[in-house]
Amino acid sequence: MASIDYSEKIPNNVNLSEDRALKRALEQWQPNYLAWWNDMGPDGSQDFDVYLRTAVSVDPQGWAQFAHVKMPDYRWGIFLNPAEQARKIHFGDHLGEDAWQDVPGEYRANLRRIIVTQGDTEPASVEQQRHLGLTCPSQYDLRNLFQVNVEEGRHLWAMVYLLHKYFGRDGREEGEALLERRSGQVDNPRILQAFNEQTPDWLSFFMFTYFTDRDGKFQLCALAESAFDPLARTTRFMLTEEAHHMFVGESGVSRVIQRTCQVMNELRTDDPAKLRAAGVIDLPTIQRYLNFHFSVTIDLFGADESSNAATFYSTGLKGRYEEGKRNDDHLLRGQSYRVLQEQNGQLVEKEVPLLNALNEVLRDDYIKDSVGGVERWNRVIEKAGIGFRLKVPHKAFHRNIGALSGIKVSPEGRLVSSAEWAFHVDQWLPTAGDRQFVASLMGRVVEPGKFANWIAPPALGINRQALNFEYIRFN
Ligand SMILES: [Fe+2]
Ligand SMILES: [Fe+2]
């Protein structure tokens, strides 16, 4: 297996030195990327030595190494999973043909759009999270935030490599534009709405990495099936890194819950006011954050009925989640799928052509997957002997994209009037007061081994280090 050449300016396992034009193009993009990092990367952290993992191979066993690194010196590079011998296209109209090693002219525009949309989310999340380091609950958490940030930076590199190598001048222009858009900026925002929302506090960060990085996982899994082999190979390696991001989210929320339950038992109360006074986040507030992040994230899968989704599938650009494990004809013509819509004041299921419903299929797969972690959070609450359950809201709750946008639905899935929505919304979604309270807890804890009062320590350190290990040297 090709190991990664670190003697080069841009570490890679794609023989960059043999493609001079590409190498030159990427080396011209590199300083612009670093300027973006210095400008929009983690605030005030450029001089810290951070205990980071760096990809050193694409071998599933031992692909990473850990060391203290200043983030601007992180070796962002280009790593593709090894090519599969004689890989065939395994879905859509080109089923059975050889996978493409180059971009077919007729699919160029769509492929570019898919790659740019994915690429845009990567720097966006770094921008969204750039102030969080100032309020970290521990060194351990700060290190995890920075790890996620540098890897999102690398994911941007992965997409820019594809743009530069396969899309010529247009691709280079897109590579620049990816460094120019800004999360939340009015004039030049990021492409997808969830990536223009703020991530103002650590509860939001953990919810984001649990729910929204998981959207990333599902999008990457769908692209990992692509007939365009370089896209499939680069997204497969990105998935290796993505797993840690979701771990940060799942374990982060879990530790918040654990700490809250501990204080609930100590004080023998479930009164949010008393718990807040004790400096922990009450479970109903956690539920409202969950409702928000879940609903905003499932919008990312796009409209429930989409002719683009059908085209992307039929032309082989984007498969389904675990396409290879499904036992059907992988053409999906003449089949149907149920999507929800409102009819005479009720939510009803409607049969639509499956090919047009592939966004909904991916969204449903995502929902199944995200429920799992919520159940693990519930076990923490159960174990503490507390009778409260977290739940993901109904799919139709708080939607802004597709047939369900514009209707008001309760978290249980009941259609409600605007008046009823207005009456209950403060129980369903985080209020300004909730956000203010959570923000009030966010002090900076950086002493090795110390954790903020509102979160329990993790069970284990990173890379088997102790919890009081110096994950960050602040210099
Ligand atoms: Fe990513
Ligand atoms: Fe991620």
C-alpha of residue 122 to centroid of ligand 1, in Å: 5
Residue 56: the pLDDT is 79
Residue whose C-alpha is closest to residue 437's, from 295, 308, 321, 278? 278
Ligand nearest to the CA of 154: 1
Q: What is the pLDDT along the chain (475 residues), one digit of tens a residue?
A: 456 777 788 999 999 999 999 999 999 999 999 999 999 999 999 999 999 998 877 787 777 889 999 999 999 999 999 999 999 999 999 999 999 999 999 999 999 999 999 999 999 999 999 999 999 999 999 999 999 999 999 999 999 999 999 999 999 999 999 999 999 999 999 999 889 988 999 999 999 999 999 999 999 999 999 999 999 999 999 998 899 999 999 999 999 999 999 999 999 999 999 999 999 999 999 999 999 999 999 999 999 999 999 999 999 999 999 999 999 999 999 999 999 999 998 999 999 999 999 999 999 999 999 999 999 999 999 999 999 999 999 999 999 999 999 899 999 999 999 999 999 999 999 999 999 999 999 999 999 999 999 999 999 999 999 999 999 999 8
- Using CA atoms in the order 448, 454, 456, 461, what is the torsion angle rounded to 10 degrees? -40
C-alpha of residue 29 to centroid of ligand 1, in Å: 19
Ligand nearest to the CA of 158: 1
Quick count: other Cβ atoms within 10 Å of Cβ 168? 14
**pLDDT-above-70 percentage for the chain:** 99
C-alpha of residue 342 to centroid of ligand 2, in Å: 34
For the whole model, what pTM was predicted?
Answer: 0.96
C-alpha of residue 267 to centroid of ligand 1, in Å: 41
C-alpha of residue 231 to centroid of ligand 1, in Å: 14
C-alpha of residue 235 to centroid of ligand 2, in Å: 12
Please give the C-alpha separations between residue 319 and each of 349, 401, 408, in angstroms, as whole numbers: 24, 21, 32
Residue 1: the pLDDT is 46
Residue 3: the pLDDT is 66
188 backbone dihedrals φ, ψ, rounded to 5°: -140, 65
C-alpha of residue 20 to centroid of ligand 1, in Å: 27
Which residues sit opposite 340 in a β-bridge?
349
272, 279 contact by CB (below 8 A): no
Ligand nearest to the CA of 157: 1
Residue 63: the pLDDT is 79
Cα gap 398→132, rounded to integer Å: 26
C-alpha of residue 250 to centroid of ligand 2, in Å: 13
Ion ligand 2, residues whose Cβ is below 5 A away: 213, 216, 242, 245
Ligand nearest to the CA of 211: 2
What DSSP letter does each residue of 134-161 carry, written as one string? Answer: GG-S-HHHHHHHHHHHHHHHHHHHHHHH
C-alpha of residue 75 to centroid of ligand 1, in Å: 16
Residue 291: the pLDDT is 98
